[in-house]
């Protein structure tokens, strides 16, 4: 199993970032669309596989199963060349540090990839909300099944960050998340073979999901999936969840209570806790490679 030393990994990360910022905007958005859908695939699978587990195996085991299957999204992204905003939060700045590309190019990449990620995530959320998360009668009436109910509860939890203390909590969870995500990206670069990349990516992503951190692109799926499923809740299901909680789940609170602060935290987690630290640690060795 071939793997690269740390200085080579950091240098390759910078090279990858330089390549990404050179893509045309339409390609950034298209690759971002694919990555958003792939992360949503992992989120949907994690929702289904973890549904009902806590009741018989405990909350910790439910989190472990959730985290164990979620990494499929990033594995597909890395192996197929899609563009994920949270990975680019580290790779593009690394290119700016090493190759002296402009920060305008970095921001341009972030904007187009973020838009693509959002579109891809919402499209897949629609597929799930009107597919596996609901049942349909011959008359066309929808009903929410156990998986859909889990999806709605996850979405409600994602928009429950209300107040300064809760917002600070979401911010810290976002930093921790992208710290781990970008370590997964570096480990994916570390290995040359498929198995090495698979396990290098899988462990940090499993850790971030099982721990309960916040990922903005994953939330672009989780919250819309719950939003689009919620209208089909029965009166009994609404009563069980709580009418006020269901009412708090809106397209506005998706941004105000989650995505804005989580996106900022993800940028800091990726750019500073991985990109800046590794560039400072290895910049002399990188300069010697040129």
Q: Which residues of the chain have pLDDT under 70?
A: 1, 290
Angle between helix 85-99 and helix 103-129 axes, rounded to 10 deg: 170
- Enter the tokens of residue 245: 């909680």
* pLDDT value of residue 141: 93
Domains and CATH numbers, the chain: 6-289 (1.20.1080.10)
Residue of 77, 86, 51, 81 lying closest to 65 (CA atoms): 51
Calpha distance 180→164 (Å, rounded): 25
pLDDT of residue 1: 55
Sole residue written with tokens 């609170």: 253
CB count in 10 Å sphere of residue 99: 12
Q: What angle do CA 165, 269, 109 make, to 5 degrees?
A: 120
What is the per-residue pLDDT for 290?
A: 63
């Amino acid at each position: 199993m071939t793997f690269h030393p740390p200085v080579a990994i950091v240098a390759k990360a910078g090279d990858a970032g330089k390549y990404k910022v050179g893509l045309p905007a339409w390609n950034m958005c298209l690759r971002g669309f694919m990555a958003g859908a792939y992360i949503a695939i992992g989120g949907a699978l994690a929702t289904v596989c973890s549904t009902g587990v806590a009741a018989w195996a405990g909350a910790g085991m439910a989190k472990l199963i959730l985290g164990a299957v979620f990494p499929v999204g990033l594995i597909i992204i890395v192996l197929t060349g899609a563009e994920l905003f949270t990975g680019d939060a580290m790779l593009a700045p690394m290119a700016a540090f090493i190759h002296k590309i402009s920060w305008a190019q970095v921001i341009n990449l972030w904007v187009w990839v973020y838009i693509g990620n959002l579109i891809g995530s919402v499209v897949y959320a629609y597929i799930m909300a009107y597919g596996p998360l609901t049942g349909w009668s011959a008359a066309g009436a929808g009903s929410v099944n156990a998986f859909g109910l889990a999806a709605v509860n996850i979405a409600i939890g994602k928009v429950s960050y209300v107040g300064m203390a809760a917002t600070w909590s979401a911010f810290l969870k976002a930093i921790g998340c992208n710290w781990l995500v970008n370590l997964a990206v570096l480990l994916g670069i570390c290995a040359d073979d498929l198995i090495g990349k698979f396990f290098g990516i899988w462990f940090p992503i499993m850790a971030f999901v099982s721990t309960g951190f916040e990922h903005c692109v994953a939330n672009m799926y989780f919250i819309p999936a719950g939003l689009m499923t919620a209208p089909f809740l029965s009166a009994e299901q609404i009563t069980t969840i709580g009418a006020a909680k269901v009412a708090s789940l809106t397209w506005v609170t998706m941004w105000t209570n989650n995505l804005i602060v989580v996106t900022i935290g993800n940028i800091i987690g990726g750019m500073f806790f991985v990109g800046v630290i590794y560039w400072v640690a290895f910049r002399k060795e990188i300069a010697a490679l040129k």
